Every structure is written in structure tokens, then in C-alpha cells.
Structure 1
Amino acid sequence: MNLTDQSSLSDLFVERVRETPDAPAYRQFDGSGWKDLTWGETGREVMRWQAAFRKEGLKAGDRVALCLHNRVEWVLFDQAALGLGLVTVPLYFDDRPDNMAWCLNDAGARLLLLEDGRMWAGLRDQVKTIERVVSLDAADAGGDKKVTGLEAWLPPAAEDMLARSAAAPNDLATIVYTSGTTGRPKGVMLSHRNILSNVLSAMKALPAYTTDRFLSFLPLSHMFERTCGYYSAMWAGAQTVYARSITLLADDIREQRPTILISVPRIFERIYSRMQEAMAPGSPKRKLFEKATEVGWRRFRGEAAFADKLLWPLLKLLVAKKLYRRLGGRIRMIVVGGAAFAPHLSRVFIGLGLPIIQGYGLTETSPVLAANRMNDNDPTSVGRALEGIELRCDDKGELLARGPCVMLGYWNKPEATAAMIDRDGWLHTGDLVAIRGGNVYITGRVKDIIVLSNGEKVPPTDAEAAILRDAAFEQVMVVGEGRPKLGLLAVSKITDAGELCRRANAQLRDFPGYARIHHLARMADPWTVENGLLTPTLKAKRNEIEKRYAREIEAMYAGPDLCQPKNNG
């Protein structure tokens, strides 16, 4: 595909339609069965959407928002908008109405596409800038004249040519609101060049092909899925299948047989937990599984003994192939990002032969900064910088990044922009790292450190990731800033705090002695986006959780030290 750093995201789509009009582009379940679209058909649909946008009197630079699950209409909206020079503002489908309304008002969005028209009732009184609401389901909006169903909004056919944006490379393409764990989200301004440069460099590091099939399930409102699963698949001319739901994800993977998955560690944490629950401790099945992962890991690291080489074919047949078949039997690459991939998960799934590649980035960098490669994969690192991106550490160990993928800035927040990007163009990631042999190793967060009253420092995310290896814990948060010892807030079905404390510390056995849980408060109800304790990208809102459970935390610390041995008198 003939694209350069002077091209736009609209050029990417128009060139794909021109080059392979009859090749499969998208597959989606319409309620009765799977429906396929070619690139040519997708192009003709985008023309209809562009005609509808024109009727609204929108002009280049206007912001248009959408709130949908992953589906073909997400692409049609986005490409139609980009082709007309409009700015796409994606919203998280599971976000709270007040947060959505804040983002819409902040962006000054004029048009909103909703999957469920009933959502407008919760937004109507809070949103000030929206002039038109388009609903996929044409749900009754209580007579609101702003609202129309999609089919009534779209013309039956479009007679115009597919519009190609006249946007300059550094023109704004999208505003993506970061789901900040504290305060209101900030609107990340990404240009056409920001995103397209990231697609081109990512595809050089981890190429995809026309023969590939992506399965899309991470939210398209997040830049990880949008760049790596949507625009990259478009560059490659690969087919994308939209999963029906997270609930049906395992079925969709098995039946649709993707070759590439863009995933987050949480998916593999769930798979691992289910595998553990299905194998009784000490059972022959569990022993066989553990042996397969041990031998497989040594093979991956090039440390297999002669006995390992003899044993592996049988272990592969009895254990590894079963997992591979559960993933459809055609997987050739799994790209994992968005959060740290725990070492024990690496050992298990890479040991069993899954081609898992870990990468790293931020919304503010479009998003990928570094990634491992298929022939150079160190699972303990997040890989090397992509082509065209500079990475270095400052004197405190914070990772700094510079390159064409670095955002234009935060929407209407020059002070926040200046705090993030220094005068020399270096973006401050907030992550502490070590760089060895070109590989980036994440060691912690600049601000995400608990300092105990004795001065000892504990990175809570590392401790939490370790504790979550035990399937007894559904969600956890380590606390203890300014206190003498660590405490744990835990969502679990187990009610015995002492048992939970012991199990948590069993997972922390490799941590320093001061990194032990001494106090624990159990919660029965999970932390969710709806109750305001998770961001739309499912990160814990630490400040909000501490505020919500302030009484429980105080009561927890007023109680006994659960690490102390019981006095049996």
C-alpha cells in the first residue's frame, strides 16, 4: 500500500478499498447469523454515511461522537467522519452517563451515534452541544426531535464518490478521553500522522497479512484496539470478525478461528483461573499440566534437556494442543498490552506454545511505543522501541518517549500538556523502567508507590498482580500509605479474612519481608464501572475506592494483625 507519513487515515481506507475491493473485510453477527462485508461493500456503505453527515451541515474540524460496542457501524462512522475532515470522539459504552456527558460537552460534539437510543434519556439534560442523535435501534426517545433512527438518517444509496480527506498530516483526527483513575478524564488529541505513523511502524515490527483474521473484542474506544486491531488490519487487508460479547468470546474464538488476537492480560488470567479450578491439587491431571508448562518453558528459553525433548511430543499432544484447539487452532500471534503480563502467566501460556507478544504504550502515544518481536521475544520485557520512536530514561528512571506518534496535546488543557511533554518534545510516561540491550523492562510507576511509615516503598500494582494469581481473589487493592504495615481490600467469595490473608501472602513469598499483608477487609460486591470504582478500561480508581471504604479501612487497621500467629493459650 502506497502510504507515507504525509498520508491521512482516510487515505488508508480509500487505498484499501481500491486495492482489494472483493476481499473479505468484516464479519458480524446480525442476530440470526454471521454476515460478511467485502472492502468494496464497506466503501459503498461509508459513502452513504458521508452523504448523511453532509446533510447535517457539519464542517471540517467539527467533533462527532459515538458510543457503540465493537461492530461494523463503528468503522463506517469513523471512516465517513475522517473522510470529511471531522474529528471522531469515541465514548466507552459502559461508562456512566455523567462522565459521557462531561466528555461530550468538553469536546463540543455536535452529533452523537448511539447503539441504544434509550441511553439518550440519561444524557439529554446534561449535554449542551449535541444537535443530532442517531440511534442504531431507532428506540423511542420520548418525542425528542433531535433523535432519529439510523435507517431514517442514512440515504438509500450514495451517488457521490468516496470522499478522501484533505486533512494535513498534523490535523486533528480524534479526541480520545483517557479514563483517568483520579479526576475528570483528559481529551488526548491525536493527529492523522500520530496514528498512521504508529500503524506503519507497528506493522514493520509485527506484520499482518491479507490471509490473517483478527477477532475484535477489546473496546474500539481504546487506542490499543483501534490502532492494533482496526487500522492495522485495514493496512494489511486482513478480515476482522467482531465478537458477539465477552460472555460468548470463548465460543467465538473457537468457531471463527482467528489468526491474530489483540488482548489484555485479564483474558488470560480468566482462562488460567478456569484451568486451575478444573484440576484438583495433586491430581494426575494437574501434575501433567504442570509438567507440560515446565518442559515447554525450558524449550522456549532454549534450555531443554535431552529428556525434555523426548517428553515434549507427548505433552504437546495431551496438554498444549488442547489449549491451541480451544483458541481455534489457527492462532499465529497474540499481542498483549494495556497492563503488565504477570510472569506466571507467561510461563504457562508461552510454555504451552502460544505465540504471545507483549507490547507497551499509552493513549498519548497512539498508543504503541515498544514491543517484542516474533523472533526476539523476551516475556520479562515489553520489547524494543518501534521504528522512528526514541526511548530513554531520565535521572530518576522514568521512561521518556519522542517520535511522530506523540500526541498533539490535551484538549483545552495547555498546562496539562506542558506537564506531560517537555520543551524538547519528550513525553513523560510516568513509568519507571530499566533499558538493557534495547529492551524495556517496567519496574514501577513514578507516583504509584506506597510509602510505609518506616520508609519502605512498595509498588502496589506488582503486589496486586501477584495476589490475583490465586483464583480466590476476584479484585484486590493494596493500601498502607503512611501506615506501619500493608492492608488489603479484597473482593472474594471466601469470607474468612485470616484465610484470605494467608493466601495473599503465599503469593507474595518472593517479595521483600516488609511487603506482607497484615490487615484485610473483604467486600462481597465487585468494583465496577457502574458503581464508579473502575474506569471504563477496568482500572481501579484507587482514590475513589479508598474514599468509599474509608470506614472499612480504619476498622481493618483497628483489628488484629492477621499475620501474627494465633495464641492458643
Structure 2
Amino acid sequence: MSPRARSGTAAGAPDVIAPETAGTLAGLLRERARRSPEAPAYRHFDRGAGAWRTLTWADAAREAGRWQAALAREGLAPGERVALMCRNRPEWMLFDMAAQALGLVVVPLYAEDRSDSAAWIIEHSGARLLLVEEAAQWTRLAAVRERLRGLKRIVTLEPVAREDPRVRWIGRWLDGADGPFEPAALDPHALATIVYTSGTTGRPKGVMLSHHNILWNAAASLRAVPALPEDLFLSFLPLSHTFERTVGYYLPVMAGSCVAYARSIRELAEDLATVRPTVLVTVPRIFERVRRRLEEQLRARPALARHLFRAAAEVGWAHFQHAQHRRGWSPALAAWPALHLLVAARVLERLGGRLRAAICGGAPLPPELGHLFIGLGVPILQGYGLTEHSPVISVNRAEDNVPESVGEPLPGVEVRIGPHEELLVRSPSVMLGYWRDPEATRRAIDRDGWLHTGDQARIERGHVFITGRLKDVIVLATGEKVPPADMEMAILEDALFEQVMVVGEQRPYLVAVCVLDPDGWRRLAAGLGLDPDDPASLADPRAERAVVERIGRCLHAFPGYAEVRRAVLTLEPWTVEDGLLTPTLKPRRQRIEARHAEAIAACYAGH
């Protein structure tokens, strides 16, 4: 008998736990373990054994009971804050569920965050207990130990040198802890978590979300894009980010779907092939990486292979448009079955070959990128959300997918366009407010309960189109205003550019800071008679002129004043680990500008 049969759920039938039934986030796990005890819940890779392991829902609840008992021994009162600094793995879920069961408030930290940033969040939130994953994290935090005096206990998943009496290895901390998983009877509208927004500028704000905020959002998301007990999610975006946490963690518990934790981003391609997920929660950057690998491989293939790839993408896009009832049939569509077999199926196989939904958010999906992968049969559904909305606001539906848009609002979410074309949102998912910042809360949520997103938008035929950011505008010294994000998206269509950031606030013209693709740089340098291995070649005027010329071609559709006149070239990528990208891979503009300040200043010398 299959696990699904033992759980009492017919194959293919939804088994969604209503927010009212769960009551709280911990109530989700209790109810799921009751309904589907023997069904697979989580898969993770055991590096010691070199094999994937599976936990059932009963296993998860039983282990969460141990963690709940260990946490209870710490004597923390409901409402006190506990923090965790951990990659996606079962222990993240166990700590979170155990804390929620006791009425504690969970403060997630990005696993690779810098010590000063993590210390600030721990201080600001008033966290009393911290879970860290590995010795390297504790070593980083030890440098700011004086700022962690508010912590009563520090639990580590790996043994570390015990220079601090508060530190306990998880084995010792859990020793003797036993008991059932018993979530306390809590007010669903009570504070459940404080999520610090990974802002691109300044200190992050602590977004306060209740149990009901998140449960309502997950339930509304399931009404828009259903998930089934047979679905398998692959979790690789940081659980410290609300997008992954709601859609890739709580939503699968609500639906009874299994979640497999990817080993790392570096091993993601292999994990996709091994795990073979049916659902991905992803960001555009992942598809950009796949596209670049495909382009690199195609350059080494015969001209016929390159022609077939382009034909598959173009005919596949036409096939998608026809299936969406946006264009009629044409003879070219007759070639789709063969092109799918020869080209598209091989691309889909790289993603596991079973994908039925790729929920894409966190950053805008460039239209050309969406067209390419949807044309190749990847079921991308672009959505949109904010941490302040728990987070999902809108998403495309499979039967009405307009990839250039961020879809229709979730059922029960109200949207309207306010002054300056700002998108305003109202629903039960709107946050309680910002932690210890009532003034910022008043600015974000007006007296009628509308959340001011800060994003500009238009609404056409029920679909939301994000058109800009109120504050994300460069004002040149001439007074002209340019949208850097749109320009950067256009520049990144050229495979020469891995990453790019346009600067020029109150300057006479624009400068592009460019991280170049190594292979593309070698070809460009060779064509200019430059040594690609000599760092000085990146500063050669010939290289800069060639790059600026290519940028100009990318920006042909922009106004004349939106012209990039100078460029800073580098081969060193911006990463989350060095603090230049947010956990969802958005550029931290101020930090990147500071990193390249000298080179940028040289571009404006004499002006």
C-alpha cells in the first residue's frame, strides 16, 4: 500500500488544511501529522551516509516534540524572541515549529549574513536564544560577542569550542528532552515572526507577521496555484526570506506536499536531476544562469543545433500563445512535437523532467527570459509580493499566464492604483507593522488599511504589471529621470554581462558598473588585441569603448538622455556572501557603489 493510501488521501486529490483548522503555524504540523502520518514530508541529503533520507509527517511531529521540550526547559515566556541562523534543512523546520508551539516569536537570520548585520538584528529584536548551524558562523559571531549579551542560550548544530558558557551543542541540548508535539492554544492574530527585510539600502526593518497573516496567504496562494500531496518541492531559496518560507515551507504543510532540501546552490543542477521536483519556488537569476550555460554549450555546437534551439524557442512560444488562446493556429505549430522532442525535452530534463509549476518571484522576470523558457516548455508562473504582505500579492495562473505581468491578485486581495501610480494592497495578509518603528508603520499602512507597496503599476484585464519603483529612480544633474532597474534588465540581455548596475544620481551622465562573463570577456579582449588575463586590460580605453557601444545597442529603446557614457569593468562577481547581493540576489546598490567608488569617481573626473 502506498503512503498516500495509508494516509487516507486519494491520489491526485487535494488535502488542504484550512487556516481555521490549523489555528497557528504549529497547528499546521499537528494537523498534517494527524491526517497523513506515514506520507513523506521532508527529504534531505545525509552527507555522512552519502544518501538522501526521508522523514514522514509523523517523524517530523515526533522530532518537533523533542525540540519543543528542549526549548521549554529554557524557561522563555510566550512572546519572547528566538533567532536562527541556518541553511535550509530539517532542523530549520523543527526549531521553527517547536518555537511556534510555545508561542515564541521566530527571527530568521540569513545563514551567510555578516556578523555586524546579524548582531544588529539580534540586538534590535531582543532575541533571547540563537540557533547557529556551523562552527564558521559562530566564529564570525564571536567577533561581535559583546553585542550578544541579551542572548541567554546559543545552540549549535555542530560542536564548537566552548569559550562561552551559553553555548550548547545540539546533541547535549536535546539530551533527555522528550514529549509530544503539543502546540499551545494561541490567538491566531498573535505575533509569530519578525522578518527583517533585506533592503538594498540602509538598515533593514523588522516586519511583524502573525500566524493568521501567513496562514491566510498560504491558503489564498493554494486557491490560485493548487498543490497536491503528490507534489515534490525542491527548496533552495533561503528560508530566512518570506517568499521561500510561506510558499516553499508552510504552503506544502498545508497541502501535504513533500519538500526536498537542496544541498547548495552550487549543487543545484545535480539536485534537480536527482530529486526531480514537480514544483520550484525560484527567482529569475536561476534561469539567467541556466540560459548562460545553454548559450555557452550552443557556441560549441554545429550551426544546425543552434538553429534548432532558436526554432524550438520561437515555435514553442507560439504554441504557448495558442494554448492561452492569444493567437490562432499556424502551420509552423505542426513542427512543435518534433522540436519538443529534439530540443525542449532535453532542457526540461535538466530541471528534473517532471516540473509542473515554477513559481518565480523576488525580482522582475525579464520578458525575453520568460519567453525563452516558457517557449521551451518550462511552466513559469511569475508572481509578486512583499515581506509586508506575508508575502504573495499576485501570481499568474496556468490557464491565464501573461508572463510580462505578475498575474492576478490572490483571491481576497484588494489592489488599486494610488497617487503617483503606486500599487496599494489590502487583505488579511498585511503585516501587523514594523517592530519598534511605529512611524514607519504609519507611512506604510494608511488609516484605511491599505499597504503602500512603493511599486508603481498598472492593471490591465485583471493582471498587475509592475512598471517601476517610486524611489528607484536616478535623477541626473540635468533633472532628467531614468529607471535603472529597467535599463539593467535590458543590458543583461547581452550575454557579455553577468551583472550590471547603473549609477548617476545628480551626475551629468550615467555610468554602468559591469561584471563581465569570463568567456565573453576573453572573446571581446581577443578581438581588441588585449590580453584577457591581464587585469589592466579591463581598464583599457578600447575595452571600455567596446562595452559602452554594446550597452548603447541594448538601450536603443530608451530616451536619449538615458545614455551610458562610461563603464567600469570587472570579472569579480557580486555575491550574497560578500554582502553585495540580498538573499534573493538583488543588488545592494549602496554597497556595490562603495566597492567601486574609486573607479566610478574616475569616470566623472573633470565634470
TM bucket by the smaller chain?
Answer: over 0.9
1:526 maps to a residue whose letter is P
Bigger Cα displacement from structure 2, 113-122 vs 83-92: 113-122
Mapped pair 1:293 → 2:313: yes
State the secondary structure of the residue aligned to 2:111.
Answer: coil
User: 2:503 corresponds to which residue?
Assistant: 479
Name the stretch that deviates more: 280-289 or 12-21.
Answer: 280-289
For the pair 1:9 / 2:25, whether they are aligned, the reply is: yes
Q: Secondary structure at the match of 1:125?
A: helix
**What is the correspondence of 1:517-532 to structure 2 with a 5 Å cutoff?**
517-532=564-579
Determine if the alignment matches structure 1 residue 109 to structure 2 residue 121. no
Q: Does 1:134 align with 2:155?
A: yes
- Looking at structure 2, the residues matched to 385 and 9 of structure 1 have their Cα atoms a distance apart, in angstroms, of 23
Say which structure is richer in helix.
Answer: 2
Q: Counterpart of 2:73?
A: 55
Q: Which residue of 1 aligns with 2:525?
A: none
CA contact (8 A) 1:8 1:165 kept: no
Q: CA deviation at 1:5?
A: 4.7
The answer as to whether partners of 1:381 and 1:440 remain within 8 angstroms in 2 is yes
Distance in 2, matches of 1:291 and 1:537, equals 32
Alpha-carbon distance in 2 for matches of 1:130, 1:470:
49
Q: Matched residue of 2:499: which SS?
A: strand
The separation in 2 between residues aligned to 1:304 and 1:276, in whole angstroms, is: 31
Q: Deviations over 1:313-368 (max 9, x none)?
A: 11111110101111111111110000000001111000111111000000110000
Relative to 1, partners in 2 of residues 1:446 and 1:46: Cα closer, same or farther, differing over 3 Å? same
Partner in structure 2 of residue 563 of structure 1: none
1:149 to 2:169 alignment: yes
Q: Report deviation, 1:295.
A: 0.8
Aligned to 1:254: 273
Counterpart of 1:349 (choices 367, 370, 373) is 373
Partner of 1:503: 550
Superposition RMSD on alpha carbons, in Å?
1.7
Aligned mates of 1:387, 1:12 — CA distance in 2: 21
Query: Residue 285 of structure 1 aligns to a residue in which SS?
Result: helix
Amino acid at match of 1:227: T
Which whole-Å CA distance do the structure 2 matches of 1:169 and 1:525 have between them? 47
Which residue matches 1:533?
A: 580
8 Å contact kept, 1:105–1:127: yes
The within-5 A match list for 1:165-314 is 165-280=184-299, 283-302=303-322, 303=327, 305-314=329-338
Is this contact kept in 2: 1:392–1:399, CA < 8 A?
yes
Rounded Cα–Cα distance in structure 2 between residues aligned with 1:541 and 1:42: 37
The answer for the alignment partner of 1:428 in structure 2 is: 452
Please list the CA deviations of residues 434-470 of structure 1 after superposition, one character each: whole Å capped at 9, or x if unmatched: 0112110010000101123333321101111121122
CA pair 458-481 structure 1, distance change in 2 beyond 3 A? same
Deviation at 1:305, TM superposition (A): 4.6
Deviation at 1:519, TM superposition (A): 0.9
Segments ≥4 residues shifted beyond 6 Å: none
Q: Which moved more, 1:522-531 or 1:243-252?
A: 522-531
Deviation string 1:65-97 (CA, Å, 9 cap, x unpaired) is 111110000000000110111111100011100
Aligned residue pair count: 558
Distance 1:189 1:304, change over 3 A: same
- Distance apart, 1:530 and its partner CA: 4.3
Match for 1:33 among 51, 74, 83? Answer: 51
> Residue 51 of structure 1 contacts residue 155 of structure 1 at CA under 8 Å; is this kept in 2?
no
SS in structure 1 of the partner of residue 290 of structure 2 = helix
Tell me how far apart the structure 2 counterparts of residues 150 and 408 of structure 1 sit (CA, whole Å).
33
Query: Using a 3 Å threshold, how does the CA distance of structure 1 residues 246 and 532 change in structure 2: closer, same or farther?
Result: closer
Letter of the structure 2 residue corresponding to residue 276 of structure 1: E
Partner amino acid for 2:156?
S
Change (3 A) 1:298 1:559: farther
Tell me the residue number matched to 1:125: 146
Counterpart in the other structure of 1:390: 414
Structure 1 stretch displaced more, 321-330 or 41-50: 321-330
Contact 1:65 1:90 in 2 (8 A): yes
CA contact (8 A) 2:200 2:587 kept: yes
Deviation at 1:507, TM superposition (A): 2.0
Counterpart among 309, 312, 317 of residue 341 in structure 2: 317
SS of the equivalent of 2:70 reads helix
SS of equivalent to 2:419: coil
Task: Decide whether aligned partners of structure 1 residues 531 and 29 sit closer, same or farther in structure 2, where only a CA change above 3 A counts.
Answer: closer
Conservation of the 8 A alpha-carbon contact between 1:475 and 1:490: yes
Q: Which segment is superposed worse, 545-554 or 378-387?
A: 545-554
CA distance in 2, matches of 1:81, 1:405: 21
Match of 2:35 among 19, 22, 32: 19
Deviations 1:499-547 (A, max 9, x none): 2212222222232333232111113433334444333433222223333
- SS in structure 2 of the partner of residue 545 of structure 1: helix
Tell me the distance in 2 between the aligned counterparts of 1:2 and 1:526.
43
SS of 2:420's partner is coil
What percentage of aligned pairs have identical amino acids?
Answer: 52
Contact 1:358 1:382 in 2 (8 A): yes
User: How far, CA to CA, are the matches of 1:127 and 1:540 in structure 2?
Assistant: 28
1:256 partner amino acid? V
Aligned equivalent of 2:480: 456
1:556 and 2:572 aligned = no
Counterpart contact for 1:243–1:249, Cα < 8 Å: yes
Distance in 2 separating the partners of 1:322 and 1:200: 34
Tell me what 1:564 maps to: none
Hey, what does 1:566 align to over in structure 2? none
Aligned partner (choices 463, 466, 471) of residue 490 of structure 2: 466
1:118 and 1:139 in contact (8 A); partners too = no
Unaligned runs of 5+ in 1: 561-569
- Whether the 8 Å CA contact 2:458–2:467 is kept in 1: the answer is yes
CA shift in 2, pair 1:2/1:291, >3 Å? closer
User: What secondary structure does 2:93 align onto?
Assistant: helix
Report the Cα offset of residue 224 of structure 1: 0.3
- Equivalent residue number for residue 10 of structure 2: none
Give, in angstroms, the shift of residue 60 of structure 1: 0.7
Specify the alignment match of 1:565 in structure 2: none
Q: Which whole-Å CA distance do the structure 2 matches of 1:506 and 1:284 have between them?
A: 27
Q: Quick check: 1:96–1:529 contact (8 Å CA) kept in 2? A: no
Could you say which residue in structure 1 is the equivalent of 2:60?
42
Match of 2:535 in 1: none
* Residue type at the aligned position of 1:146: R
Aligned match of 1:89: 107
Deviations 1:489-508 (A, max 9, x none): 11224332122212222222
1: CA distance between counterparts of 2:206 and 2:268?
30
Identify the range of structure 1 (302-311 vs 339-348) with the bigger mean alpha-carbon deviation. Answer: 302-311
**SS state of the match for residue 197, structure 1?**
helix
Seen in structure 2, the aligned counterparts of structure 1 residues 118 and 248 have a Cα distance that, compared at 3 Å, is: closer
Kept after mapping to 1: 8 A contact 2:318/2:333: no
| 294-303 or 438-447, which deviates more | 294-303
**Structure 2-normalised TM-score?**
0.89
CA distance in 2, matches of 1:507, 1:103: 40
SS of the residue aligned with 2:354? coil
Q: 1:255 to 1:236 in 2, by over 3 A?
A: same
